[in-house]
Amino acid sequence: MRNAFAAEITALADVDPRVVLLSGDIGNRLFDKFKERHPARFFNCGVAEANMITMGAGMARTGLRPVAYTIAPFITARVIEQIRVDLCYHNLGVTFVGVGAGLGYSELGPTHHSCEDVAMLRALPNLTVLAPADAPEVRSGLRAVLAHDGPVYMRIGKKGEPVIHPEPPPFTIGRVIPLREGEDVCLVSTGAILKDVLEAADRLTVEDGLSVRVVSMPTIKPLDTAFLADAFARHRVVTTVEEHSLIGGLGSALAEWLVDQAPQRAALCRVGGKDTFLKVCAELHTARALLGMSVDDMVERTRAVLARTSAGVAR
């Protein structure tokens, strides 16, 4: 996803003179082409993320569209107050991109994990929160971001994530991207875990004989409420899946929406990370399993909620 980000932001800078790229001293050689083509619009801001974010705000105030990039926890948790005051309070068109969000840097340990970023950022007024699923969604997402006025957080994976979409899908901020139609269960996936969600959908279809709908939900804020109204009216279970803590992420956002509605047909099922830090070195799928977001978790949690609703137990 980071290679798609680098290629797309370079292409966008070619046609949009407002685009400025700020990097927090990462991405060795990743931005060589950008630097070669737009040297005056590339800034290696060093290991100084607070300055990077606020400087981006100053640039945006002059009409530019800065895009700041570094490892997810360093461009979110570390600088949450700069984001809050300088980007959100000012409501300026700065996009900040967190690479390796969720467990993208699983082997690097919890300092580099980012399973709380959505929870922190979703609370900030004016901020749009995006989590594209694959490289093509990163590309079309970036195009949508530059057409949007206001601050945007985009959490992306690292590299080598499975490509789901054959080409960049139509991307409207605040709208889901449909992947499979189905009736019984709807799996709502956000971010780079989509391939696993499709595998869970296959299992629920083959092993349980269910008709399973799958959407990618790359916009966590604002929520696609038209989609939610339809999904909760139509299906028996709506399952959210995210590479993020169960506290404050996509599942929480849907739960918040749901309690404000009249009783719905579908029950909500949430799959996400436990409230803990990993203490062992783990590759991506091991880390997901340890935190409770494996394909098995998706299948079993969905089955459990489905059984509960079938038995007529109040949710």
Partner 1 sequence: MQTTTPDFTALTRTAAEIRGTVIDMCHRAGTAHLASCLSCIDLLTAIYWHAARVDPSRHKAPERDRVILSKGHAAMALFATLAKRGFFDPSVLDTYCLDGSALAEHPSLDCVPGVEASTGSLGHGLSFGLGTVLGERIQGRDIRAYVVMSDGECNEGSSWEAALYAPAQKVSGLVALVDYNKWQATGRSEEVTSLRPLAAKWAAFGWRTLEIDGHDMKAIVGALDQVPDGDGRPTAIIAHTVKGKGVSFMEDDNNWHYRAPTADEVVRARQELGLA
Task: Give the footprint of partner 1 on this chain (CB under 8 A).
Answer: 20, 40-41, 43, 45-46, 48, 50-51, 53-64, 66, 81-82, 85-86, 89-90
Amino acid letter, 258 = L
Contact indicator for 98, 114 with CB cutoff of 8 Å? yes
Q: Could you tell me the smallest distance in angstroms from the CB atom of residue 294 to partner 1?
A: 40
Q: Which is nearer to partner 1, 53 or 291 (CB)?
A: 53
Amino acid letter, 8 = E
Strands (E), the chain: 19-23, 42-44, 65-71, 95-99, 128-130, 152-155, 177-180, 185-190, 212-216, 219-221, 237-245, 267-273
Contact indicator for 251, 302 with CB cutoff of 8 Å? no
Q: Could you tell me the smallest distance in angstroms from the CB atom of residue 191 to partner 1?
A: 29
Question: Taking the mean position of all CA atoms in its chain, how far away is CA 19?
Answer: 22
Strand arrangement of the beta sheet that strand 219-221 belongs to: 42-44, 19-23, 65-71, 95-99, 152-155, 128-130, 219-221
Length of the chain: 315
Q: Could you tell me the smallest distance in angstroms from the CB atom of residue 67 to partner 1?
A: 13
Burial of 225 (0-12, 13-18, 19+ CB in 10 A): exposed
Q: Could you tell me the smallest distance in angstroms from the CB atom of residue 41 to partner 1?
A: 6
Distance, in Å, from the CA atom of 8 to the CA atom of 248, rounded to the nearest integer, reads 30
Q: Which is nearer to partner 1, 55 or 145 (CB)?
A: 55
DSSP calls for 48-94: -HHHHHHHHHHHHHTT-EEEEEEEGGGGTGGGHHHIIIIIIITT---
Q: Could you tell me the smallest distance in angstroms from the CB atom of residue 289 to partner 1?
A: 38
Q: Which is nearer to partner 1, 15 or 280 (CB)?
A: 15
Q: Could you tell me the smallest distance in angstroms from the CB atom of residue 263 to partner 1?
A: 40
Q: Which is nearer to partner 1, 22 or 217 (CB)?
A: 22
Closest CA to 138 of 147, 128, 126, 130: 130
Q: Which is nearer to partner 1, 81 or 283 (CB)?
A: 81
Q: Which is nearer to partner 1, 58 or 182 (CB)?
A: 58
Q: Could you tell me the smallest distance in angstroms from the CB atom of residue 130 to partner 1?
A: 23
Q: Which is nearer to partner 1, 48 or 304 (CB)?
A: 48
Residue 98: other Cβ atoms inside 10 A: 25
Q: Which is nearer to partner 1, 37 or 61 (CB)?
A: 61
The residue behind tokens 């609370």 is 123
Q: Could you tell me the smallest distance in angstroms from the CB atom of residue 40 to partner 1?
A: 6
